[in-house]
Structure 1
Amino acid sequence: MQPTITTKQPPREGSSDGLRPGLKGRHLSMIAIGGVIGAGLFIGSGSGIAAAGPGILLSYALVGTMVVLVMRMLGEMAAANPTSGSFSAYADRALGRWAGFSIGWLYWFFWVVVLAVEATAGAKVLEGWVPAVPQWAWALITMVVLTATNLVSVGNYGEFEFWFAGIKVVAITAFIVVGGLAVFGVLPGSDHKAVGLSNLTEHGGFLPNGPGAILTGVLLVVFSFMGSEIVTLAAGESTHPQRAVRKATNSVIWRIAVFYLGSVFVVVALLPWNDASIAQDGSYVAALKAIGIPHADQIMNVIVLTAVLSCLNSGLYTASRMAFSLGQRGDAPSSFARTTDRGVPRTAVLSSVVFGFVAVFFNYKWPDTVFAFLLNASGAVALFVWLVIAVTQLRMRSIILREGPEKLVVRMWLFPYLTWATILMIVFVLVYMLTDPSTREQLVFSGLVAVLVIAFALVRERLSREKRDDAISPL
């Protein structure tokens, strides 16, 4: 029996009519925590360590500070007006229809490409365990299963993410505790000799490749932080959105400090930064092997697979809710704003996953051409999103105050000075990307796509305005 489809007129701006509050407090807590622990932390940290040495800790600290400030700004707006469109809906109000349209579709595009990347990464792990099933089949299976769970209810997404995030949190916490004990030679049952903090200063010093390597490290780690903003989208489907946003915003500092800085500190303290095993096995596997943990590579494969499934689950949810919000505001087909009797935007979910499947196909068929272009074209979207959030918050503060000062339950620190400082930080990173050959192409392609989307949005808005003027002009 097909679920009943309910069609709603586009509701007032900033509401989440049509969606149901199916996310519980524990779901949102784990979404907030798990949102900052992506597969990029486990897989990509090795390249950052190779580039900056122990100084990669400063790279993580700089990007972490930027994310904390962006999340504080987003938290201010989301607590005042919880909505599934989050920063896209706020940009629509504060900067104009073109801004909400552009950043919403760019963000949707980013997550659709992420679906393909993560599905392929998960398929590689699963194929290693069960080689009889081809990689493409594993990618298909994981996408189908998670699509089915997202189609049933938002509570299913929350429950899956609760357990996925829980496994990641337990794993990273255990790694920090066990690794920290090994650093000082007090790990029970281990003959690993204490190294203390010597690896941070030996082997060329704390900055073996010079201070400039800190910025190179920033470019390598910045994209592993993408996803921290998901909780503000999910808050629109919770029973107590303001409380959830305030809690997530206040806890982002310790989450980044513990999970990112804490775990990377353990790696660079345990091993020399130029140890060959970091490049060969990956930073976390190398650290586990160094302290004698048996089957370290398989343990890490389980954790990486969990992170991949978590990212797939959240990516599909996020893309569909952004598409739903765009449909509500008339910036996407109206069918995207229709929900089932369980409050699920089925068309938005299916449309997102279809494009995800197309991207997976491109990854297998033309990995070095078509899919490489998709990756480059979406690569800098994270920075574009953070920049839009910061610029939007400059304007939204006065809008929120006009609507009612009591809605300002989360306040950006030292407004507007820290907001402007964050904008300058993001612009600096974007400019620096142009000077680095490894990221220049990514920024150029992402910028080109962004310009095309913005141009389309501006033309569309102008035509809409002219049509509206013609309709009301006297004969």
Structure 2
Amino acid sequence: MENQQLKRVLKTRHLSMISMGGVIGTGLFLGSGLTINNAGAGGAILAYLIGGVMTYLVMLCLGELAVAMPVTGSFQAYATNYIGPSTGFMVGIVYWMSWATTVGLEFTAAGLLMKRWFPHTPTWIWCLVFIVLLFGLNALTTKGFAETEYYFAGIKIIAIILFIIIGSCAVLGIIPLKGGESAPFFANLYNDGGLFPKGFTPVLVTMISVLYGFQGTELLGVAAGESENPGRDIPKATKNIILRVLLFYVTSIVLVSAMVPWKKAGLVESPFVMMFDKVGIPYAADIMNFVILTAVLSVGNSGLYLCSRVFFAMSESGQVPKIFGKLNKRKIPMNALLVSLGFALLSLLTSVIGANTLFTVLLAVSGIGTTIAWAVIALSQINFRKQYIKDGGKLEDLAFRVKWYPFVPILSFIMCLGIILSLILDPQQRASFYWSTGFVIVCYAYYLLRFKGFKKVAPIKTSEM
């Protein structure tokens, strides 16, 4: 069996940068404008604060689990052991399908972004180039994925730090605005009812799109199975998440809201591009186009990695065919990677030929896939702690543990459930709730029929680190 174990090649710098870069993506660069427009400046800031706190709480739960049991597949494996195999199967399929669909969308987005510089080159050619590139990075070595993600994250972090510095100077009048426009200071936060122009309900309604911006932070747990020293690296990265969220997301949203009136945000282009244009920075649109392209490729790169590892873990517990758990000479689960890429390309195809049918279902499930996974993480941590103590384990022996238990996991679970249920409040998102709920039920039904009831699995051994 040793031959079928993934290599532990991820170093501290990889995990730190991956977790840091995971908080900065297209959800911030593109989605923040729509959030401000829908919820107002105050509503957007509150939504991202809630999302940041929720992310931190869930990652604390995942941190305890990942350090105690640094296995590939992470929360899917924890759900299988500490909630039930059928729930492990459900969350694995939902999360896998969510990310595979997202990967397909990222290929299209990357191709469209390239049209700015190469307007006469067909989009499908760029899609093909990026498909080959990201597949190659994931198929060669795990270290290849990690190194690429390290530099992708570095570009995004540099961009956001520059944005915060330049944006702060522009808002306070230190840098003159183009056309002699006076410094806005923070007037746009409250002008035209800017704080909560449409009330509090839009804050709840936009939470799913806000959490989309935070998805990928759970990569930390999935990567624990290939980390050189998870006992050291996971706690360090987990504890810093709240600081990164406050610095990158909330500060950015405050600055964007101060520079761009809520009625204009998200209607045409990225609010980050609008801010750079106001300051008069040369080639602002090209700079942001490059940064957003980097973010898109980063999501696609991480998505392929996540999908292949989740399917690998599911094969280990017998929930999908064993062939997906087979490793090649480079210790890559190639079959799991190929089926994940295949589904991503299928979702890409259905966006053209089945946009109003199958693709609608895929989008609905992928929209709340991460939220379902986070709810499962919280519940798994509650059950793990109970089982750990029942088996005679001592809390002081846990290298990393959640403080304020069970308040943290219970609040995390309630917040996740509340955000999923909030979709019912929005007529445009109500269908997503129904489709997703139906798909979850189908996953449970299939599992129970396929395995003739609840299939037992061997418990995961806790780490001695």
CA deviations over 1:202-256 (Å, ceiling 9, x no partner):
2224212223232233243122211110011112111111212101110110111
- For the Cα contact (< 8 Å) 1:18–1:338, is it kept in 2? no
Choose the corresponding residue for 1:225, options 205, 209, 214: 214
Choose the corresponding residue for 1:256, options 245, 253, 262: 245
Choose the corresponding residue for 2:443, options 453, 456, 466: 453
Alignment of 1:396 onto 2:384: yes
Choose the corresponding residue for 1:202, options 174, 179, 191: 191
Write the distance in 2 (CA, Å) between the matches of 1:383 and 1:273: 27
CA deviations over 1:145-170 (Å, ceiling 9, x no partner):
11011111000000100011110111
Write the distance in 1 (CA, Å) between the matches of 2:359 and 2:194: 39
- For the Cα contact (< 8 Å) 1:400–1:407, is it kept in 2? no
- For the Cα contact (< 8 Å) 1:91–1:99, is it kept in 2? yes
Alignment of 1:274 onto 2:276: no
Write the distance in 1 (CA, Å) between the matches of 2:166 and 2:418: 37
Q: How many residues align?
A: 452
TM-aligned CA distance change 1:437 to 1:394, over 3 Å: same
- Flag as ranges the 4+ runs of structure 1 deviating above 6 A: none
| TM score, norm. by length of structure 1 | 0.91
CA deviations over 1:78-107 (Å, ceiling 9, x no partner):
111011111011111111111111111111
The alpha carbon displacement at 1:310 in A equals 0.2
TM-aligned CA distance change 1:465 to 1:138, over 3 Å: closer
The alpha carbon displacement at 1:193 in A equals 3.1
- For the Cα contact (< 8 Å) 1:54–1:200, is it kept in 2? yes
1:469: which partner in 2? none
1:75: which partner in 2? 63
The alpha carbon displacement at 1:422 in A equals 2.0
Q: Equivalent residues in 2 for 1:374-389 (5 A)?
A: 374-389=362-377
CA deviations over 1:180-215 (Å, ceiling 9, x no partner):
111101138976633222221222242122232322
TM-aligned CA distance change 1:217 to 1:357, over 3 Å: closer
- Which amino acid in structure 2 is aligned with residue 24 of structure 1? K
2:462: which partner in 1? none
Choose the corresponding residue for 2:6, options 3, 19, 32: 19
Q: Equivalent residues in 2 for 1:152-231 (5 A)?
A: 152-187=140-175, 193-231=182-220
- For the Cα contact (< 8 Å) 2:205–2:425, is it kept in 1? no
Alignment of 1:329 onto 2:310: no
- For the Cα contact (< 8 Å) 1:80–1:400, is it kept in 2? no
CA deviations over 1:111-164 (Å, ceiling 9, x no partner):
110111111101101133223331122112101111011111000000100011
TM-aligned CA distance change 1:183 to 1:453, over 3 Å: same
List runs of 5+ in structure 1 lacking aligned partners: 1-7, 12-16, 467-475
Write the distance in 2 (CA, Å) between the matches of 1:138 and 1:205: 40
The alpha carbon displacement at 1:399 in A equals 3.0
2:419: which partner in 1? 429
Write the distance in 2 (CA, Å) between the matches of 1:162 and 1:365: 36
Choose the corresponding residue for 2:332, options 344, 357, 373: 344
Choose the corresponding residue for 2:72, options 84, 89, 94: 84
- For the Cα contact (< 8 Å) 2:194–2:262, is it kept in 1? no
Choose the corresponding residue for 1:102, options 79, 90, 103: 90
Alignment of 1:35 onto 2:25: no
Write the distance in 1 (CA, Å) between the matches of 2:434 and 2:213: 20
- For the Cα contact (< 8 Å) 2:171–2:183, is it kept in 1? yes
- For the Cα contact (< 8 Å) 2:47–2:203, is it kept in 1? yes
- Which amino acid in structure 1 is aligned with residue 278 of structure 2? A
The alpha carbon displacement at 1:365 in A equals 2.8
Choose the corresponding residue for 2:224, options 235, 240, 243: 235
2:298: which partner in 1? 310
1:411: which partner in 2? 401
- For the Cα contact (< 8 Å) 1:123–1:135, is it kept in 2? yes
- For the Cα contact (< 8 Å) 1:387–1:423, is it kept in 2? yes
- For the Cα contact (< 8 Å) 1:95–1:392, is it kept in 2? yes
Write the distance in 2 (CA, Å) between the matches of 1:273 and 1:436: 20
- For the Cα contact (< 8 Å) 1:27–1:162, is it kept in 2? yes
- Which amino acid in structure 1 is aligned with residue 428 of structure 2? S
- For the Cα contact (< 8 Å) 1:327–1:334, is it kept in 2? yes
1:62: which partner in 2? 50
The alpha carbon displacement at 1:452 in A equals 0.3
SS of alignment partner, residue 280 of structure 1:
coil
Write the distance in 2 (CA, Å) between the matches of 1:448 and 1:207: 34
1:4: which partner in 2? none
Identity of aligned residues (%): 37
Write the distance in 2 (CA, Å) between the matches of 1:94 and 1:461: 18
Give the superposed CA RMSD.
2.0
CA deviations over 1:4-36 (Å, ceiling 9, x no partner):
xxxx48x9xxxxx51001212111111100111
Write the distance in 2 (CA, Å) between the matches of 1:328 and 1:360: 29
The alpha carbon displacement at 1:70 in A equals 0.7
SS of alignment partner, residue 206 of structure 2:
helix
- For the Cα contact (< 8 Å) 1:70–1:390, is it kept in 2? yes
CA deviations over 1:415-442 (Å, ceiling 9, x no partner):
1123222222222222221121121111
2:463: which partner in 1? none
CA deviations over 1:246-295 (Å, ceiling 9, x no partner):
011101101111111111111001122223x6412221111111221222
List runs of 5+ in structure 2 lacking aligned partners: 457-465
